Amino acid sequence: MGHDYSASVTHPTCTERGYTTHTCSRCTDSYIDTYTDALGHDLIHHYGREATCIEGGWSAYDTCSRCDYTTYSAIPALGHDPIHHDARAATCTDVGWNAYDTCSRCSYSTYQEIAALGHDLVHHDAKAPTCTEIGWNEYDTCSRCNHTTYSELGALGHTWSEWSEITSATEDSEGEEGRECSVCHATDTRPIPKLGHIHQMTFFTANESTCSVQGNSQYWQCTKCGRYYSDENGENEIEAGSWLLPLKEHTLVDDSAVDPTCTATGLTAGSHCSECGTVIVAQNVIPALGHSRQHHAHTDSICTENGNIEYWGCTVCGKCYSDESCTVEISKESTVIAYKGHTEVIDEAVAATCTTAGKTVGKHCSVCGEVLIAQTDVPALGHDLIHHDAKAPTCTEVGWNAYDTCSRCDYSTYSELNALGHNHVATVTQPTCTEKGYTTHTCSRCGDSYIDSYIDALGHAYSATYDWSADGKSCTVHIVCSNDSSHKHDIADIIAVSSIKTVAAIGSMGVTTYSVSGTYDGFAYSDSMDVRNIPALEPEIIQKDVQGETTYSNTVAENQTTQITEIFNTAKTNSSSVEVSVPTAVTESPVIIAFDNDAVNAIGGSEVTITANVVENSTEIEEAELVIEVKLEGATFSEGKAKVTVPLTETVPEGKTVKVYFINGNERIDMNAVLVDGNVVFETNHFSTYAIFFEDAPSDNGSEGFPIVIVIGVVVAIALVSCAVIFLRRH
C-alpha cells in the first residue's frame, strides 16, 4: 500500500527551528524535513537607571517583542552608606557633639552640637620653698582642663658646716669626712685618699749549684709590689735573676763498645755524666753482620723414607729459617717430613650378577701401588624370575600383556598396549552480561574435560529512570539492565546543575532547568527538570496620598512568587505604609494585605518576595469553598501590624455572625474581626492559620455553634517558612 503522509508545519520561534513533520495516516510512521532557522530575538533596548540611597533602579536591559525574553535586573535602593563619627565631649573652651552618622553618597546627617562648658576653677594656697624643694604663690586651676595661674618659686639651697673626719684612711682603703646643713640638717659625705706603701717581705734561702741545676744566693721579694731586694728592709733593690750561681763540671763515666752478630747490631765506645746522666760522647750503632745462607729444597717423604720442607740454614750460626731473608727462625726438627708407611685403599668386592661373574674384597697401596691383599673371582648367579599379570589400557594410560622380570636385574618380557584416547562429548554454555559463553568437552569414559569456543560476554543493556526532588535540586537515578534485571544500581541524591531557561518578567516567574548527567559502568545517563522558581520582577509602585498619609501599593499576579523589596525600602525611607493587592480567579475583588509603618520598618531593608494563590473546591480540605495561600519570605514584623481584607463571595446568613479565630492545634483565639461592606477585616502581627466562621448568634444559655465557612491561612517565612491557609466552606 505504501505510506499516506500528511504534512504539519511547526513555525520557528526566537530560539527553536521550524520544520515540517510528515506523518502516515495509517501506521504513524513519520519523518521531518524543511527546517527553517530560529528567528532570534527581536530586541528592544531599555536604558538603565542608577539606584540612590532611597530609590531603587535597574541595569540597562533588553526585551524581545515576540517572546518573554528579558535581561531585566532590578537594583534595590542602596540605602545610606553610613560613616560613623564618634562623639566628642565639649570642653571649657571648645564645642562638642554627640556620636552621629553621615552618608558617603548624600547630605544625610544626625549631627547635634554641644556648647563649650567654661572653666570650673579650683583655688590652691601658696607654699614656701625649702633647701631642696620649690615653692609657689597662691593660684587657680580648672577641674576639667589644664588652665592654671601657677607661678613657681625656686629652691633655696643648703647652708653647709665645715668638713669633719668620719673614718680614717689606711694603705688599703679610703677614709670618709662629712658636713651638715644648718637649716634642714641634711648631711653630705666625701672620701679621704689611701695612705703610702709598706713592704711585706718573703725570704728565699741560698742553694748550691749542681752540674745540671743552677744554685742561688739569698734574697727577698715584696708580695705587695713584686720587687726584689738583697736586704730584709727593702733598701737595696736588685734585678730579677741576679741571685743565680754558675753550674758545676760533669763527672765522666766510660761506655764500653759492643761487637755485632749475624742478627744483632753492635755499639762504638762512648761516655756520660754519672751525676745528671747527660751523654758526653754518644755511642754509634754498628750494623748486624747478616747470615751466610744455604738453601734446602722441598723433598717429599715416601712410604718408607723421610722427606723435608723447603728451608734455609746459616753456615755461620747453624740456625734454620723458613724464609729466604732468614728472619723467621725454625727448629731443625721442624724441617723433617716423616715417612707415613703404606696408604691402604680397599678394592671393593664386585657382586656377581645374573649374567656376569664377581670378585672378592682386596687391598693395595695408593702411593706405591703395591698389592697388599689379592681379589678372587665369584661365578655368575643366573635370573631370579617374577611373574606380572596383564593390565588393560585406559584413555590416557598404556596397558600390557602378562610378563616376567628378574628380581636382580632389568631382564623383562614386557609388551606394551597403547592408551585408548578420550571420547569427548560437547556441551554449550551461553554468554551472560558479564561472563563469556563457551563449549565444554567431556570424555564419556573417564570424565576428563576441556573448554574452547569462547563467545564474548553480551555486556549490559542499561536504561535509567529518574526520581527528582520537588525543588529540582537533586535527583536519584535508577539504572537496570534489560538483559538481567538483577543487574541494577541506584545513584542517590545527585546534586543537579542549574541554568536559567526562562528569565523572570513583571507578572511572570522565571524557569530554572536542573540537569544531571554522568556514567555508570560505561553507561551514560542524563535527564533534566524545569522548575518555575525565579521570582517575578517587582511590579510598578503606585503612591497614594490620602489626608496627608502616604501609602505605596502594587499589584502582584496570583500564584507567582514576586519581588516586593523595592516597595518596602521606599516606604521605609519615606516613613509610609504598604498595600499589596492580589487579584484572584475566585473572588470578584482582590485580597488586600496592608502593612502599617512599624511593619514596614521591620521588613524594609530585606530581600522580600510574596506568593498568593486562591483555590476553589480544594480536595485537601473537605467541603472548603476557598483555600487562600499567601507566602512572605525574607522578614518578620512582630512589632507591626498587617490588616487583611478578604472579600466574601456570599452574604452572611440570617441569624449568623462572622468570627475569625487564630487556630493553634485545639486552641482557638478570637481575632476580633469585623465585617465591612461585604469584606472580613482583621489585624495580625504574624501570619499563621486563621479560620472564618459563620456562627449562630449567642443563645440565651450562652452556647455557640462553630461550623467553619472560611479558613484563612497566611504563610510568612524568614529563614524558616511557615504555611498558613484560608479555607472557606458553605454552611
- Measured CA distances, 697 to 106, 210, 656, 657, 701 (Å): 60, 153, 5, 6, 11
Strands 542-546 and 549-555: antiparallel
Residue 622: pLDDT band (50, 70, 90) is low
- pLDDT(718) > 60: no
Residue 549, C-alpha cell as written in the block: 498619609
CA end-to-end distance (rounded Å), the chain: 66
Residue appearing with cell numbers 553480551:
458
Q: Give the start-end residues of each E strand in 60-174.
A: 61-64, 74-75, 82-85, 96-97, 100-103, 113-114, 121-124, 135-136, 139-142, 152-153, 164-167
Contact of 287 with 299, CB cutoff 8 Å: no
pLDDT band for 602, please (50, 70, 90 cuts).
Answer: very high
In this structure, of 163-167, 373-377, 482-486, 721-725, the range with the lowest mean pLDDT score is 721-725
d(CA 461, CA 454): 21
Kindly give the pairing relationship between strand 624-633 and strand 708-718: parallel
pLDDT at 625: 62
Buried residues in 29-55 as b, exposed as e (16+ CB within 10 A):
eeeeeeeeeebebeeeeeeeeebeebb
Cβ-contact 621, 709 below 8 angstroms:
no
Q: Above 80 in pLDDT, residue 532?
A: yes
Task: State the Cα–Cα distance between residues 490 and 464, nearest whole angstrom.
Answer: 9
Helix (H, G, I), strand (E, B) or coil at 304: coil
The DSSP result for 328-394, as a single string, is SEE-SGGGEE------EEEE--B---SSS-EE--EEEETTT--EEE---EE------EEEE--B---
Provide the whole-model pTM.
Answer: 0.38
Helix or strand holding residue 629 (H, E): strand 624-633
Q: 602 by DSSP, 3-state: which?
A: helix
629, 660 Cβ separation under 8 angstroms: no
CA distance 483 to 435: 12
SS3 category, 604:
coil
- CA 402/CA 562 separation, integer angstroms: 109
Q: Tell me which residue of 291, 290, 292, 286 sits closest to 265, measured CA to CA.
A: 286
Among 601, 504, 674, 703, which residue's Cα sits nearest to residue 69? Answer: 504
DSSP conformation letters of 148-172: B---EE------B---EEEE---SS
**Radius of gyration, CA atoms only, the chain:** 66
Percent pLDDT > 70 in the chain is 93
Q: Quick one: cell of 573?
A: 525611607
The pLDDT of 689-700, averaged and rounded, is 70
Q: Alpha-carbon distance 680 to 670, whole Å?
A: 14
DSSP state, 505? B
State residue 620's pLDDT score. Answer: 59
Provide the β-strand partners of residue 495: 474
Cβ atoms of 282 and 269 closer than 8 Å: no
Q: In this structure, what C-alpha cell is assigned to residue 81?
A: 552608606
Residue 725 pLDDT more than 50?
no
Please give the pLDDT value at position 712.
Answer: 46
How large is the average pLDDT for residues 686-702?
68
Question: Comparing 644 with 707, which gets the higher pLDDT?
Answer: 644
pLDDT at 621 over 70: no
The DSSP 8-state label assigned to residue 395 in this structure reads S
With a CB cutoff of 8 Å and minimum separation 6, the contacts of 348 are: 361
Mean pLDDT score, 484-512: 88
How confident is residue 617, by pLDDT bands cut at 50, 70 and 90?
low
Q: What type of residue is 199?
A: H
pLDDT at 699 over 70: no
Burial letters 593-626, b for 16+ CB under 10 A, else e: bbbbbebbbbbbbeebbbbbbbbeebeebeebbb
3-state secondary structure of 82: strand
Q: Which residues contact 27 (CB under 8 A, 6 or more apart)?
A: 3
- Report residue 177 as a C-alpha cell: 669626712
What residues does 213 pair with on adjacent strands?
Answer: none
CA–CA distance, 318 with 293 (Å, rounded to integer): 10
pLDDT range class, residue 177, cuts 50, 70, 90:
very high
Give which of 553, 572, 555 is closest to 76, Cα–Cα: 572
Rounded to an integer, the average pLDDT of 716-723 is 33
- 546-571 pLDDT, tens digit per residue, is 888 899 999 999 888 999 999 999 99
- Listed in sequence order, the residues at least 6 apart from 254 whose beta carbon sits closer than 8 Å to its beta carbon are 269, 270, 271
Mean pLDDT over 341-363 rounds to 88
DSSP state of 634: S
Predicted confidence at residue 700, as pLDDT, reads 52
DSSP 570: H
Closest CA to 317 of 289, 285, 297, 295: 289
User: Residue 253 — φ and ψ, nearest 5°?
Assistant: -135, 135
SS3 state of residue 583: coil
Provide the percentage of residues in the chain whose pLDDT is more than 90: 31
